[in-house]
């Protein structure tokens, strides 16, 4: 019997993409602080913030890829195991997402209460105890931490995927219904963005499709490697438009094409765990990928303090600080918060499955 608590070798290409995307989000907020912590429509039309939006698109597609890689083999398990697998899935997801989020969200809210400059469109929208309960549970996109809006969409995707662990038929029906309603909302027939029925769901779907078709792509690896070099063209065109790269129909199609080309090149790699590259390159990619979640969540509170201490990032030294200090804090958060909590989630899941009738996965 194979135990799901064992950690698989990490995919170096995916780790590099995850880390670089998080770093791009950090860089995209330099414009926000250069604008003295005030978001305006004019600021949103600048290139750097739009590049941050493209990085988020990469994150969503990557989530579909990673979840299916990690849990796809659990779909169709023995009936006696399905309930435990679903519970184990949510245990690991909860320990992966919430501890770091609660840590950085609390820090950001504390800075707000102390009168520091913080993302004004987020903390200020939480007025009642119910607002804070929803924000703590991530059942709303209004949170004390600006980047955490995307986590609510992630949880919606996890909920749909979890249904596949119970039954392929139920999962297929739920996913089809969600995608159909997403299309209706996207076309503004009946807007339902408040139900997480946004075009972001298409990016999750893209990641799932890429994994399901990976064996076919691997047969023509050289072709996909060559086409993958062109991924930046549709993404750059999307970044050049002034509309939102995630919610404008044309830009979303460009994002889907560019992200698909990028991941097709990576997923067709014959030996993803140990490619023939220098060790320093492997170490840098794996490390940057490991801290990407903490970097994505925690950089704004850190930059808030930097803005108070050293001022806006309007010279080379300050720009370096606005990028380097969040990297250091993210590494500490990964080592002392994320990694221990991930281990706890895996250990709980392992014990849960050990009590299963057959003692493990089929």
Q: What is the CA radius of gyration of the chain?
A: 21
- The confidence score (pLDDT) of residue 128 equals 85
Q: Cα–Cα distance between 108 and 327 in angstroms, integer?
A: 17
Residue with the two structure tokens 């509309």 = 243
Q: Cα–Cα distance between 169 and 176 in angstroms, integer?
A: 11
Q: Cα–Cα distance between 290 and 11 in angstroms, integer?
A: 11
**pLDDT exceeds cutoff 60 at 257:** yes
**pLDDT exceeds cutoff 50 at 362:** no
150-174 burial, b at 16+ Cβ within 10 Å, e below that, comes to bbbbbbbbbebbbbbbbeeeebeeb
The domain limits of the chain are 12-354
Mean local confidence (pLDDT), 266-270:
79
| pLDDT tens sequence across 41-90 | 777 778 888 899 899 999 999 999 999 999 999 998 888 889 999 999 99
**pLDDT exceeds cutoff 70 at 358:** no
pTM: predicted TM-score of the whole model, two decimal places = 0.91
Confidence label for 8 from pLDDT (cuts 50, 70 and 90): low
Is the CB of residue 358 less than 8 Å from the CB of residue 80?
A: yes
Burial class (CB within 10 angstroms; exposed 0-12, middle 13-18, buried 19+) of 129: exposed
**The two three-digit tokens of residue 48, written as one number:** 């750097």
């Amino acid at each position: 019997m194979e135990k799901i608590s064992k950690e698989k070798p990490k995919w170096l290409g995916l780790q590099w993409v995850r880390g670089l995307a998080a770093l791009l989000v950090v860089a995209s907020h330099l414009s926000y602080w250069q604008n003295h912590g005030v978001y305006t429509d004019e600021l949103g039309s600048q290139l750097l913030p739009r590049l941050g939006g493209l990085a988020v698109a990469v994150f969503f597609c990557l989530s579909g890829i990673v979840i299916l890689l990690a849990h796809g083999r659990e779909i169709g398990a023995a009936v006696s195991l399905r309930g435990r697998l679903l519970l184990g899935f949510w245990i690991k997801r909860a320990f992966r997402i919430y501890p770091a989020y609660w840590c950085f969200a609390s820090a950001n809210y504390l800075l707000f209460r102390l009168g520091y400059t913080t993302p004004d469109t987020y903390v200020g929208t939480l007025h009642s105890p119910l607002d804070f309960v929803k924000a703590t549970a991530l059942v709303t996109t209004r949170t004390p931490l600006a980047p955490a809006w995307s986590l609510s969409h992630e949880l919606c995707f996890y909920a749909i995927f979890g249904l596949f662990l119970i039954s392929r038929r139920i999962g297929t029906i739920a996913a089809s219904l969600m995608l159909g309603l997403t299309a209706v909302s996207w076309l503004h027939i009946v807007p339902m963005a408040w139900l997480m029925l946004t075009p972001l769901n298409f990016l999750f779907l893209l990641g799932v499709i890429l994994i399901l078709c990976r064996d076919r792509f691997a047969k023509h690896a050289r072709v996909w490697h060559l086409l993958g070099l062109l991924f930046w063209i549709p993404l750059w065109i999307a970044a050049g438009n002034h509309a939102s790269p995630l919610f404008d129909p044309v830009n979303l199609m460009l994002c889907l094409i560019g992200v698909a080309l990028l991941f097709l090149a990576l997923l067709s790699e014959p030996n993803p765990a140990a490619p023939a590259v220098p060790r320093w390159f492997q170490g840098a990619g794996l490390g940057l990928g490991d801290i990407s979640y903490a970097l994505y969540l925690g950089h704004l509170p850190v930059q808030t303090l930097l803005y108070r201490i050293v001022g806006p990032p309007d010279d080379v030294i300050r720009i370096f600080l606005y990028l380097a200090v969040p990297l250091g804090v993210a590494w500490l958060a990964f080592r002392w918060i994320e990694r221990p909590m991930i281990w706890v989630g895996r250990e709980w899941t392992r014990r849960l499955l050990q009590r299963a009738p057959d003692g493990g996965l089929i």
